[in-house]
Each structure stands twice: as C-alpha cells, then as structure tokens.
Amino acid sequence: IHIAIVLGTRPEIIKLSPVIRECERRDLPYTLIHTGQHYSDELDSVFFDQLELPEPDYHLDVGSDSHGAQTGKMLAEIEQALLDVEPDVALVQGDTNSVLAGAIAASKLPVEIGHVEAGLRSFDREMPEETNRVVTDHVADYLFAPTDTSADNLRDEGFDESRIHVTGNTVVDAVHQHRTLATEKSTILDDLDLTPREYALLTAHRAENVDDRARFADLLNGVERISTELGVNIVYPIHPRARNRLDEFGLDVPSCIELIEPQDYLDFLDLEQAATVILTDSGGVQEEACILGVPCVTLRDSTERPETIDVGANRLVGIDPDAIRNGAVEMADVATDWENPFGDGNASKRILTALCQSPADDQQVIQ
Ligand code: UD1
Ligand code: UDP
C-alpha cells in the first residue's frame, strides 16, 4: 500500500507525526504533501525540525487567502500531486482547509481517503471547521474516529459500520512520545521566570473569537479577571491571526497577560504541564490539557471535544467575562484524576493496521 499524507497546518504536523513515524517503522512507502497553509517558521518548520520529520516530497506553497481561494488553490495542486504519485490512499487529519482540499481532490480520483479524527461535531455550522469535518467525513472511506462519541456521531449520520474505526486520537501518541522529553529538555519555565502552578496558559486564535473586535475584547477582559481572582499571571503564545487582529483593532492587552511568540512543541507541552489552568479556544489544546491532567476552560460557545467535559477536565464558558472568571475559579480547584478519554497512545498503529488490511493491499503483513 502507498499512502499519501496531506498536511498543512501546525496541529496536522503534530498529530500526524506519530503516523509518519509508524510508516517509517513499518517500512511502508508514503509520500508527504504539504499544502503550505501554514508557512511561518514558528507554525511550520520548527515542528519538522524538532519532531525530526522528513522534508515533504511536495510543497504546494499555497499560503494565506480567503477560504475559497485558498481551498481552490490547494485542490488543484493536490490533485496534480496525487495524479503524479498514484497512491492507494490519501490520509488527512482534522478539520482545516487543507483537510477539505485533500479529501475532495482524492474523492474524484481512484484514491481512497482516510480521515484521521473523524466524527467530531460541534454542531455549529457557522464554524468553517465544522463544514470541513462534515464534508471530509462524507467522502472518506476510512473514518478513524478517536472515541465512541465521535463514532456515534458518524452512526447518527448513517455511515456504514464497516467504514468506522475507533482508534483513539493520535494526539495521545504525540503527547506520550514527547512529554518526558519536554520535562527534560525544555527550559521555557526558567526562560520566562515562571513557577509551576503559579501561572495560567492562554491560547486564542479561533476566527469566531479573534476576528470579532467585541468578542476578542471580552475574552481578554475575562482573562484579566481570572488573573485578579486567582492571583496568577497569564502567558499567551499568540497565533499570527490573533496578533494581526490585535494590531488591526488597536486592542489593549492587559498587563497581566504576557504575549510571547508561538512556541515549539516541547516548550509548549512544558508550559501546558506546569500551568495551574489552561484557557483556550483550540481543539488540540483542550485534548492535551485533558491528557496531561491540567484543568481547562474553553473560551467558546460549543466544543467538538465533549469527552473532555464529560470526564470533568474542561468547562465550556463562552466569552462572557464573568463566565470566564467563574469557570476558571471553579476549574482551578477540581480534582485532576479524570480518565483520559482519547485512547492509549496506539492510535497511529491502529490506523496503519486498518489501512494495511485494505483490499488494495491484501499481501501486506499485518503488524
Ligand atoms: C487554521 C485552521 C484552524 C486551525 C488553525 C491551527 C482553517 C479554516 N482554519 O486557522 O481550524 O485551528 O489553522 O493553527 O483551516 N498566518 C501567518 N503565518 C502562517 C499562517 C497564517 O502569519 O504560517 C496568518 C495570516 O495572516 C493568515 C492568518 O494567519 O491570513 C490565518 O491563517 P489561516 O491558515 O487562514 O487560518 P488559521 O487561523 O491559521
Ligand atoms: N501548540 C504549539 N505551540 C503553541 C501553541 C500550540 O506547539 O504555541 C500545539 C499544541 O500543543 C497542539 C496544537 O499546537 O498540539 C494545537 O494547534 P492549534 O491550537 O493551532 O490548532 P487547533 O487544534 O485548534 O486546530
């Protein structure tokens, strides 16, 4: 079997890194196609270097644009790459425009599609990511659902059981492969003069939060109230989208919030592990907080990661400043002995085993 792995953004590089390593371990032929949706070093090459990933075979350099223009460019270029490579399967991960383009391109070619992190639903069609998930799932042949909850979402939409594989989330594989290294190697806490459990970590980059001046201002205001209430400073590695919006809106950032550059994976994991509470609108960060045993407060109106809330690791508070403060005060005190709902860290093995059992490759030895 020959697998084309399509990726383009920070979370896809991180969450597909265990899958790439597993292809290497099994000596499976694969082709890496990078759309170039993320291109700044701190969102892209820093992860290839630190996670020791191979150079992409194809770099499509699409860059930033409106949804339609960006997805359209990727679609045309991924199609060319797939025609060139003729893989058996194209593998995509998550819910970005790169995922949508990879899935649609493959769907019109004799190439099967595997969707890693299938079946997540926020049930909020206003989010571009929700459209990307729904469309990708519906053209995919292999639906790699991380949990029973995500598999149930697929069943509710009428998917045939034979397409659904509950694998766990590859983010657990990534965290297991790097958390000890992060503790050993990262010096970020010293560099920023931070004491474990005496700061909160913030990430906010979601379009619906940071592209709306009033929502972004409310979010910052709520975070400032947490600082006052809990007596902690806030560290905010800021995504370029959010940084651009802050500048454009001329918003003042409260002095209790320290803006820093986006971090590499080991430094970010270390910042997560030692935080007293994590405040985020990121999907991957909600999962990692839950896996690492750090309470999380999600600054959104909906989440496609309800498992984190069900186990008591996360609270959904929206962006109302009082709700943000109250949520953080409650979460800072919770017992952190919840079960990790995202699997045992062998998701990438299960994904490759399922792909190797495909009719395209009956001869493949199953490991
Ligand atoms: C994208 C995903 C989002 C995901 C996030 C991960 C879509 C629709 N959105 O959002 O689901 O959570 O990636 O981080 O696919 N920019 C840079 N450097 C870069 C990339 C972007 O400066 O390397 C800036 C540009 O100003 C760009 C803006 O960030 O216009 C937004 O980038 P884009 O890729 O459109 O969306 P993200 O917000 O990164
Ligand atoms: N991340 C990182 N450095 C940072 C912020 C996030 O390495 O400064 C990692 C984080 O550990 C997680 C992933 O990026 O694995 C989440 O990506 P992001 O929040 O950009 O996207 P989302 O998960 O919301 O799609």
**Average pLDDT in the 13-29 region?**
98
Residues across the chain: 367
Nearest CA to ligand 1 atom 16: 240
pLDDT value of position 358: 66
Strands 89-93 and 112-116 come out as: parallel
pLDDT value of position 92: 99
**Average pLDDT in the 195-216 region?**
98
pLDDT value of position 359: 55
- What CA–CA distance (Å, rounded) separates 147 from 136? 18
Q: Residue 11: CB within 6 Å of ligand 2?
A: yes
**Average pLDDT in the 200-210 region?**
98
pLDDT tens across 323-352, in order?
A: 999 999 999 999 999 999 999 999 999 999
- What CA–CA distance (Å, rounded) separates 286 from 266? 17
Pocket test for ligand 1, best of 7, 15, 64, 203 (most atoms within 8 A of CB): 64
CA atoms within 13 A on the CB side of 18: 23
Phi, psi of 7 (to 5 degrees): -145, 165
- What CA–CA distance (Å, rounded) separates 107 from 97? 15
pLDDT value of position 247: 97
pLDDT value of position 365: 38
CA-closest candidate to residue 257, choices 241, 244, 238, 242:
238
CATH of domain 3-169+343-361: 3.40.50.2000
Q: Residue 4: CB within 6 Å of ligand 2?
A: no
Q: Residue 63: CB within 6 Å of ligand 1?
A: no
> In the chain, pLDDT over 90 holds for what percent of residues?
97
38 catalytically annotated: no
Which residue(s) pair with 58 in the sheet? 33
Q: Name the token pair of 278.
A: 């994590």
Which residue(s) pair with 3 in the sheet? 30, 89
Token pair 């750090």 is found at: 294
Q: Which ligand is nearest to the CA of 280?
A: 2
Burial 33-45 (b: 16+ CB within 10 A, else e): bbbbbbbeebbbe
Mean model confidence pLDDT for the chain? 96
Domains 3-169+343-361 and 180-332 share a fold: yes
Which residue(s) pair with 4 in the sheet? 31, 90
Query: Given 34, 165, 178, 205, which residue is catalytic?
Result: 205
Q: Residue 172: CB within 6 Å of ligand 2?
A: no
pLDDT tens across 66-85, in order?
A: 999 999 999 999 999 999 99
Phi, psi of 215 (to 5 degrees): -65, -40
**Average pLDDT in the 113-132 region?**
98
What is the domain partition of the chain in residue ranges?
A: 3-169+343-361, 180-332
pLDDT value of position 66: 98
137 alpha carbon to ligand 1 midpoint, in Å? 22
Plot region of 276 (φ>0 → left; ψ -120 to 50 → alpha; else → beta)? alpha
> In the chain, pLDDT over 70 holds for what percent of residues?
97
Does the pLDDT at position 307 exceed 80? yes
Quickly state the pLDDT bin for 196 (edges 50, 70, 90).
very high
ipTM for the predicted complex comes to 0.99
CA-closest candidate to residue 115, choices 162, 156, 74, 164:
164
CA-closest candidate to residue 352, choices 97, 16, 82, 13:
16
Does the pLDDT at position 151 exceed 80? yes
Does the pLDDT at position 364 exceed 60? no
CATH class assigned to 180-332: alpha beta
pLDDT value of position 157: 98
Between vectors from CA 62 to CA 60 and to CA 67, what angle results, nearest 5°? 135
**Average pLDDT in the 197-223 region?**
98
**Average pLDDT in the 8-16 region?**
98
Plot region of 103 (φ>0 → left; ψ -120 to 50 → alpha; else → beta)? alpha
- What CA–CA distance (Å, rounded) separates 13 from 10? 5
pLDDT tens across 93-115, in order?
A: 999 999 999 999 999 999 999 99
Q: How far is CA 286 from the centre of its chain?
A: 9
Does the pLDDT at position 366 exceed 90? no
Does the pLDDT at position 367 exceed 50? no
